[in-house]
A and B are shown apart, each in its own frame.
Chain A
């Protein structure tokens, strides 16, 4: 299951584990990403809490936890090579994984079709 937020994060759900990254739209708007800070493993995040920081040549932005959960894994390859966000935002450029605390929260997020039409309004 693939979901999206208005803050241009994607969230891919497999069982009770969600993988989170930023969308192609977001990486284009940010420009070349030069630095990424990921949350510590084991950290409990509330929905909409600051989870990661992404810094590009243009701006620094926060990445929020789309839903609540506990961080189980972070993408170390991304910290070593932040250009993965620009080259592969939807695959190897993922940010972190969460163990969901309430899968029902996913219902409030957009699916692919809803996100695509949201992009058209921007």
Chain B
């Protein structure tokens, strides 16, 4: 049996059992799927094109000299290949996807129906504005919902996703500080921050420093106050934080940051826990991105694209990027150039105006829920996470006392001495038919397992999930390590060799003989 560098099998054990092999190599309806290059052949073609004689080349000597080696397949072969691959996938449309910090909620079909209306689906960004008034009105209305829900006066709609939104926020902060005469040097991030926070700050030219956490998994307010000074440009904070805990000192943090002349960037990735309940503007936030693909149900995780509008406080609003949509007596207008009112803008982040298709879906979600429905979204998301925490904390170990917000965090101390790691435990979940939770994040907790069920799961689904996790936790503690170290037993493949994939990646298809020659 072949093993990866961690000594774990790369093929499911069941597939290697004597006598279990089929003649086709398939296992029941679980079909073995080769690469499309292996499936097709460059000596065949699926389409019947007449042979054109090229008499004159316009490529100036840049013609291809090697055969291109594209696989030749017929339409049914191509359709089947990708359909078979898709069946190996796990998706939110197949089951609970409790990936902490990702808010993998259901993507309502009504969103899709609205996004396909010709007035939204068949328009082009370069069309005359008079011909897309409905689309501009939708952007304007969505902007209004976002500023109202967050209690912030301005919003930039164009950022394409969370990290892009962070960059937008930090660039506005930098522009505001430069306008004041000094961009400053340091951005503070808690140890538990999303990795994108320090990355964004560094990309924006700042030095990143950690803020330590206290024993309750919250920002250490005194340590933060001690660090603030004239060199600090901003603090980047997530609330609820990545441990699923609300930062109760958030107002005091904001006040201290403002008193030091710095800005408060809030990572809005966890906004699903607060939407409709808390207005970040009231907490002293200066800028926050909103992941439409999390809180507002637009598809993500390969189904995207994401969308990350950024809301701004009074102090930062003048520096927000263009374009923006305004309404006057003649209708709606996309302001694309700096004008008298927007001359302090830091500029433009994208070619056009943002992710139109996601705007339609997000506004559909908001309008179909209504303000009261959105409040219930946050309440039910928190309720579901607490139900998971309460149902599992006697068999798994929670590093911080609940109640939690929208996600439940466990560590690996219940696995101590069992020979089962967090990774093994997650592989065991695959055998149970679940996508594993987020593992080894946040980094401040040893062997972290972060579970975010979202509000869209029913109690029946949660009970099934809890039942499996309780069974797995008990099996691990009772010494059934084999269940985990060989897992997954029931998946198409077991453990891939992540180390070799990272150290010697093969990023484009090579003919098998070429690969051998290279070795």
Contact = CB atoms under 8 A, between A and B. Distances in A.
Contact of B440 (A32, A34, A35, A59): A59
Contacts of A58: 440
A83 interface: yes
B443 A35 contact: no
A83 B503 contact: yes
Contacts of B5: 32
Interface string B480-507: 0000000000000000001100110000
A95 to B, nearest CB: 18
B503 A82 contact: yes
A80 to B, nearest CB: 11
Nearest to B195: A60
A31 B499 CA distance: 9
Contacts of B498: 32, 57
Contacts, number: 19
B contact face: mostly helix, strand, loop, or mixed: loop
B503 A34 contact: yes
A98 to B, nearest CB: 20
B443 A34 contact: no
A31 B503 CA distance: 13
State which size class the interface on A falls in: 10 to 19
Interface string B459-496: 00000000000000000000000000000000000000
Nearest to A82: B503
A contact face: mostly helix, strand, loop, or mixed: loop
A57 B502 contact: yes
Nearest to A58: B440
B443 A32 contact: no
A32 B503 CA distance: 10
A54 to B, nearest CB: 13
A63 to B, nearest CB: 15
Contacts of A60: 195
A60 B440 CA distance: 11
Nearest to A29: B446
B100 to A, nearest CB: 16
A57 B499 contact: yes
Contacts of A32: 5-6, 498-499, 502
Interface of A: 31-32, 34-35, 57-60, 82-83
Interface of B: 5-6, 195, 440, 443, 498-499, 502-503
19 contacts: A31-B6, A32-B5, A32-B6, A32-B498, A32-B499, A32-B502, A34-B499, A34-B502, A34-B503, A35-B502, A57-B498, A57-B499, A57-B502, A58-B440, A59-B440, A59-B443, A60-B195, A82-B503, A83-B503
Closest CB pairs A-B (n = 3)? A34-B502, A32-B499, A57-B498
